[in-house]
Every structure is written in structure tokens, then in C-alpha cells.
Structure 1
Amino acid sequence: MTVVVALLGFQVVARFGMGRSFSWLEEVSRFAFVWSVYFGFIIAAESDRHIRVSLHLDMLPNKARLAMLTLADVLWLAFNAVVIWYGYWFTISMFEFPYISQTTGINLVWVQMIVPLGFTFMSVRVIQVMVRRWRTGEGPVDARMGD
């Protein structure tokens, strides 16, 4: 996000302070923003802070809660596997049939590559959380309670 803010800040200064505009800055900031969003959900998955409704889980016994969370995570991993699979083949096709950005001239495969990479990294984090959850017996983090 620091890169996005720095690039957009420079664009504002250049446009309004110097009367000059750089079209590639806005496009590169969009690319950096997309990558930062993916890294954000990887971090959320690592700390088990992704969005979920967990009120009903608090009413279950500990083992049942762990089983329900594991089932939800296995379904999530199955979804991730589908996205990784199709994202991988889409990325490979962009090497074969490049889609070139108009302002920067780069192959957009380097931007789109975050989809299979992001979901792969997130899957690793979800598995780590599942293992930690079964070892410690703790449930999901309640974001309302703070750190």
C-alpha cells in the first residue's frame, strides 16, 4: 500500500504542481493495489481473521467446533484448488498469447500471476491454521475483541 500511496501522491504533485501527468503511474498503482489486496487476504488467513459468522460455533462443544471449522476450511481449500488450477492455466495461456498493457507495455501475465500465487499462499496459511487449531484447541479469532 505504501507503493500505491507514493505513486499516486507523486502523480498528484506532478499533475497539479508541475502541470505534467504520467499515464503509467496510475496503471502501475492499480497493479500494486491488486497485489496488496491479495497479500492482505494472505495475512488475514495466516492470523485466522478472515470473514466468517462464528456466533453459532461458540455454542458447540470444543471438538464439534474444531470439526466444523475444519470442514469449512477443507471446503475453502477445495475452492482454492479450483482457482489455483484455472488461474495457473490462464497464466500459462497469457505467456503464449500475451496481453500487453497499453501504457506500460508489459505483459499483463505479471499482474495476473497473483491469482494462482495468492491462492496458493493462502492455502498454505489455511493449512497452517488448521494444524495449529487442532494442536491448541483454540477457535477462530474474534476480530471484535481486538488483539
Structure 2
Amino acid sequence: MSNERLPPDHETHWIEAEEEDKFDFRDQGLEDYVTLVLFWILLVVVFLQFFSRYVMGDSIAWTEEMARYFLISVGFLGSAMAVRKNSHIAVEFFYRYMPGNVGLAMSTTVDLSRILFLSIGVWITYKLADRTTAMMVSVDIPKSVIYYIVLAGFVLMLVRSIQVAIRHWREGTSELIFTEDDR
């Protein structure tokens, strides 16, 4: 099918979709690569658990616990990527139908609330990790290691959240606020 047969809006959409598919290493943060590595380790551990349980008939004891901890790590470190891209879920109804100044005030309130929440998360997680002395059940590793990974996730989310807030304040807008032309 040639581009001449396509409606103009379909052709534009096709061009935009093609541009979105391009991958650039510079668009990714360090946490993205760490999360990817942890995800693949999680995949191998879960496959090992499945293989040992259903093919060999005897499950490896440490795989279930380690899969749980790797999933926690992937979740918290991967959240930093979502904060950096400002892609956490949001209710866009108010941003879309309120005047620009109200939307900007709401966006600023959301940015400040997120920074406050993540700061509290950093503090609580640090205190919890510092007080944890228990060992993992199936592996001779302290459980505090997991809490420190969660702490790293909270710190990364906080740093990325501050970066997003600064970007919003410099531009005087947010990705959620639409211009008059977009309505």
C-alpha cells in the first residue's frame, strides 16, 4: 500500500510511530540497565525454579525466596525509570478541563507532594534497613541488603522526582497540562 492511498492523518501517525520505535542508549538512565540485569537474573531464577520443580521433581530451596527479592528489587529500581519519564499513572481529568494556571498549580502541588512522599520513604527505609539484623531463610545473606536496595530505589526516585519538578518549573508547564491548541 503506498502512502498516496492513506488518509493524511493515518500517514502522519505512521511516521510518528516509526520515530517512536528508535532506540537511543543516551535516553536511558543507569537505573534502567541495572533493572534490566536484575530482571534477567529474576527470569533465570524463576526458570530454574520451574525446571527443578516440574521437570526434575524436586524444587531448589533458595529459588522462591530469591525470586521474591529480585522482584522487589526490579519493582523499586524500575520505579525510578517511571519517575524520570514522568509516566506514573495520574488523573488527567482536572488538568485537561481546568484553566492553565489552575493546572500548573495542581502540577506543582503534585511535584512537591511526590518529593515529600519519597523523602519520607527514604527516611523510613533507611531506618528499617539500619535496624534489620535478620538473615534470609534459604541463603546466608542479611535481609538488610534487600532494604538497602529498596532504599536505593527510593533515593533514585527522589532524585529523578526533583529533576522532573525542576524541569516543570523551568518550562512553566507539565506533560499533563495541555496548551489551548491541544483542546
- Alignment TM-score, normalising by the size of structure 1: 0.84
8 Å Cα contact 2:95/2:176 also seen in 1: no
Q: What residue is the counterpart of 1:50 in the other structure? A: 88
Please point out which of 141, 161, 182 is paired with 1:126.
161
User: 1:18 Cα shift?
Assistant: 2.4
Higher relative contact order at CA 8 Å, sep ≥6: structure 1 or structure 2?
1
Letter of the 1:132 counterpart: R
Q: What residue is the counterpart of 1:145 in the other structure? A: none
Please point out which of 105, 117, 122 is paired with 2:152.
117
8 Å Cα contact 2:77/2:152 also seen in 1: no
Largest Rg, 1 or 2: 2
What does 1:19-58 correspond to in 2, within 5 Å? 19-58=57-96
Letter of the 1:134 counterpart: W
Q: What residue is the counterpart of 1:107 in the other structure? A: 142
Across the aligned residues of Structure 1 and Structure 2, the Cα RMSD in angstroms comes to 1.9
Letter of the 2:93 counterpart: L
1:86-130 deviation digits (Å, cap 9, x = unpaired): 211111112xxx111111121100011133222111111111111
Q: What residue is the counterpart of 2:130 in the other structure? A: 92
Q: Describe the SS at the equivalent of 1:30.
A: helix
User: 1:137 Cα shift?
Assistant: 4.0
Cα distance in 2, alignment partners of residues 134 and 62 from structure 1: 14
Please point out which of 106, 112, 122 is paired with 1:74.
112
8 Å Cα contact 2:92/2:176 also seen in 1: no
Percent identity reads 27
8 Å Cα contact 1:48/1:141 also seen in 2: no
8 Å Cα contact 2:94/2:103 also seen in 1: no
Q: What residue is the counterpart of 2:33 in the other structure? A: none
Cα distance in 1, alignment partners of residues 150 and 42 from structure 2: 19
